[in-house]
Amino acid sequence: MFMLSIVIPVYNEVESLSELYGEIDTLARRENYEFEILFVDDGSNDGSWNEIEKLAALDSRVRGIRFRRNFGKAAALDAGFSAAQGQIVITLDADLQDDPHEIPRFLEKMEEGFDVVSGWKKVRHDPWHKVGPSRVFNRMVGWLTGVHLHDHNCGFKTYRREIFHEVRLYGELHRFVPVLAHARGWRVDEIVINHRPRKHGRSKYGVWRIVKGFLDLLTVYFLTGFGQRPQHLLGAVGLLFFFLGGAGFFLLLTYRVLSWTVEFMEPKHLHTSPWFYISITALLLGAQFMSIGFLAELITAYHGRDSQAYSIEKRTGAVKPRV
Ligand code: UDP
Ligand code: MG
């Protein structure tokens, strides 16, 4: 039997914690799960930490980590992932919106051979200004990254713990773990889950999240596609600009030379044409992109080494000692 590590980010959710613990405990008894709960208190100031300490004193399977201040959900999850001991890591929100009774269905999906299973809040109990943009966002992520989940933002997900040896979290990239894992060949799928309205406290996120999510999407697209070879993207754009600028100058010069000999062509100074400036700008942009690309390569060459470019699933054959 395997152990589950349930990682729960907590930011001012005092009223929900013991109820959530109770639900998980009852479920684990019924299903005979071995588990640990990791509450990560992301700098709450409403007594959530006291509650966590109480639960930890009550049940040795409950552990708590407290941040000195609010660092954000991704940081809280990352701290939980580093501390997790179980083979399977489950994340769920502390606000009781994610229903722990879905855990068995997540595990069934994992047993089918998937490494990451994401929840999909098909019937969602959130305001329209969250649901609408979120739909567009999920479409875009699918289109740009090839990971077609309906609900990338969902906080309820399960992972094989090894994934976190390879996928590093920073910023607010927590919602992109499936995308980052998929890019390294891990198998990703989703299940429809029951979503409940928020009972206590209030939401910590507003519309601003969608803007940040979109910027993060671009970052993830860049990282997964070109993280190991940035010049292939930046250099390609640079070369394109070089080509356009070069072609512009070539045409301008050809015109100038021809105008000396061909009668009906009016001789013009180069700088009187707008194309002169457009071509110069293109050449400068080309040089910019190329040099930024080389800087990016330099950084990747020296610092990209700590993350391996590949991911090994298994090995076969005996290892002979090196001679
Ligand atoms: N959360 C956190 N740090 C933050 C913001 C939120 O740990 O800075 C936690 C929060 O306590 C909850 C989860 O992240 O457990 C999801 O937050 P929320 O329910 O406010 O998001 P929503 O469901 O409205 O999208
Ligand atoms: Mg919530």
Task: Give the tens place of pLDDT for each residue, 202-226.
Answer: 888 877 888 888 999 999 999 888 9
Considering the domain architecture, whether residues 189 and 235 belong to the same structural domain is answered as no
Taking the model in full, what pTM does it have? 0.87
Confidence of residue 10 (pLDDT cuts 50, 70, 90): very high
Residues near ion ligand 2 (Cβ under 5 Å): 93, 95, 97
Report which protein residue has its CA nearest ligand 1's atom 23.
203
- Asked if the model's pLDDT at residue 170 lies above 80, the reply is no
Measured between alpha carbons, how far is 276 from 29 in angstroms, rounded to an integer? 76
E strands present in 11-163 = 34-41, 62-66, 88-91, 116-120, 157-160
Confidence label for 303 from pLDDT (cuts 50, 70 and 90): confident
Percent of the residues in the chain that have a pLDDT greater than 70, as a whole number? 99
One domain, residues 145 and 244: no
Residues 147 and 256 in one domain: no
Print the domain residue range for 190: 3-226
Most ligand 1 atoms within 8 A of CB, residue of 11, 175, 195 to mutate? 11
Helix, coil or strand: residue 104: helix
Q: How far apart are CA 309 and CA 84, in angstroms?
A: 25
Q: How far apart are CA 316 and CA 136, in angstroms?
A: 44
pLDDT tier, 306 (very low <50, low <70, confident <90, very high otherwise):
low
Q: Is the pLDDT of residue 194 over 90?
A: yes
Q: What is the pLDDT of residue 126?
A: 81
Residue 172 has a pLDDT of 82
Instruction: Kindly state whether residue 313 falls inside one of the protein's structural domains.
Output: no
Domain boundary among 226, 253, 288: 226
Q: How confident is the model at residue 171 (pLDDT cuts 50, 70, 90)?
A: confident
- Would 285 be classed as within a structural domain? yes
Ligand nearest to the Cα of 175, by number: 1
Banded pLDDT at 262 (limits 50, 70, 90): confident
Q: What is the mean pLDDT of residues 99-111?
A: 96
Strands (E) in the chain, as ranges, are: 3-10, 34-41, 62-66, 88-91, 116-120, 157-160, 188-192
Residues with CB under 6 A from ligand 1: 9-11, 13, 42, 70, 72-73, 76, 93-95, 97, 155, 203-205
Tally of structural domains, the chain: 2
Pocket test for ligand 1, best of 73, 99, 130, 134 (most atoms within 8 A of CB): 73
Task: Kindly give the distance from the C-alpha atom of residue 95 to the centroid of ligand 2, in angstroms, as a whole number.
Answer: 6
Give yes or no: residues 281 and 215 share one domain. no
- Ligand 1 atom at minimum distance from 203 CA: 20
What average pLDDT does range 53-61 have in this prediction? 97
Same domain, 203 and 258: no
Report the SS3 class of residue 209. Answer: helix
- Is 274 within a domain? yes
CA of 203 to the centre of ligand 1 (A): 7
14, 92, 204: residue to mutate for ligand 1 pocket, most atoms within 8 A of CB: 204
Residue 305's pLDDT is 62
Instruction: Kindly report the average pLDDT of the chain as a whole number.
Output: 92
By mean pLDDT, which of 65-69, 202-206, 245-249, 285-289 is the weakest?
A: 202-206
Q: Are 70 and 168 members of one domain?
A: yes
- Closest Cα partner for 77 from 20, 12, 9, 159? 9
The answer to whether position 311 is within a domain reads no
Question: Phi and psi (nearest 5°) for 296?
Answer: -60, -40
What pLDDT shows up at residue 159? Answer: 97
pLDDT tens for each residue of 119-132: 999 998 888 888 88
- Residue of 38, 95, 98, 172 to mutate, ligand 1, most atoms within 8 A of C-beta: 95
The answer on 251 and 128 residing in a single domain is no
What are the tens digits of pLDDT across the range 230-251? 999 999 999 999 999 999 999 9
Residue nearest ligand 1's atom 19 by CA: 203
CATH of the domain at 143: 3.90.550.10
Give yes or no: residues 258 and 222 share one domain.
no
Q: Does residue 312 fall inside a structural domain? A: no
Give the pLDDT confidence score for residue 129 in this predicted structure. 80
Q: Which atom of ligand 1 is nearest to the CA of 72?
A: 8
Q: What is the mean predicted confidence (pLDDT) over 285-307? A: 89
Q: How confident is the model over 226-231, as a mean pLDDT? A: 91
Same domain, 63 and 14: yes
pLDDT at 54 over 90: yes
**Would the pLDDT of 304 be above 80?**
no
Query: What is the Å distance from ligand 2's center to 198 Cα?
Result: 6
Average pLDDT over residues 157-184: 91
